[in-house]
Structure 1
């Protein structure tokens, strides 16, 4: 991180996750374009669980590239 004075610990980050109302899940589509969608999620330990159908846009993105970004709002 470039600004060490703004860095938060992992514990502080999980506290932020606990307080947020929802998240925005950002992924990459199979054609390489970005795809972001608002989601509700549940947290257990260091894992976030997001509801997802067995077929659809999110599933296609996750199968293509499982590395994602979640922004907590």
Structure 2
């Protein structure tokens, strides 16, 4: 698959800058191929680890049904935004990725993904591990392999160099 190049290339962030946005972001919107050809997007918490994205969900639901039909996904993180009413615009930094999702089935992979997620959002590792042990039978984790990534910033925040 050939992905489109960014039209406003001066605003494009480098790959390392885009990865930093992913690493530091706290929420995203995941897009999947939904019912009857409609896109389905859902807000998620996620973690970036060694070039992949991990997220969790229940063991059943719309998102999983869609992923079982098609593993292709898109995800957007808005890392920074500033509404500028006097200019009728918003300054922002964001990253969009396209990739393939895999529903994890191996218990150890699920535990490791859940630990990565839990430790991103909490500094209490024992509490995270206890929660995972308590909910492991109801927990599903998804791994996204990134195929294409692009970050963008508002033209007002572009370094003039």
TM-score (norm 2): 0.42
Runs of 4+ in structure 1 deviating by more than 4 angstroms, as ranges, are none
Q: How many residues align?
A: 73
User: What is the Cα deviation at residue 46 of structure 1?
Assistant: 1.0
Larger radius of gyration: 2
1:1-73 to 2 correspondences below 5 Å: 1-73=6-78
The DSSP-based 3-state class of the residue aligned with 1:24 is: strand
Q: What are the ranges of 5 or more consecutive residues in structure 1 without an aligned counterpart?
A: none
Q: Deviations over 1:16-66 (max 9, x none)?
A: 112222011111114211111110011111100010233211101111121
The DSSP-based 3-state class of the residue aligned with 1:36 is: strand
TM-score (norm 1): 0.86
Write 1 or 2 for the structure with the bigger share of helix: 2
Q: What are the ranges of 5 or more consecutive residues in structure 2 without an aligned counterpart?
A: 1-5, 79-161
- CA distance in 1 between counterparts of 2:13 and 2:45 reads 23
Cα RMSD between the aligned structures?
1.3
Q: Could you say which structure has the greater relative contact order, defined with CA pairs below 8 angstroms and 6 or more residues apart?
A: 1
Write 1 or 2 for the structure with the bigger share of strand: 2
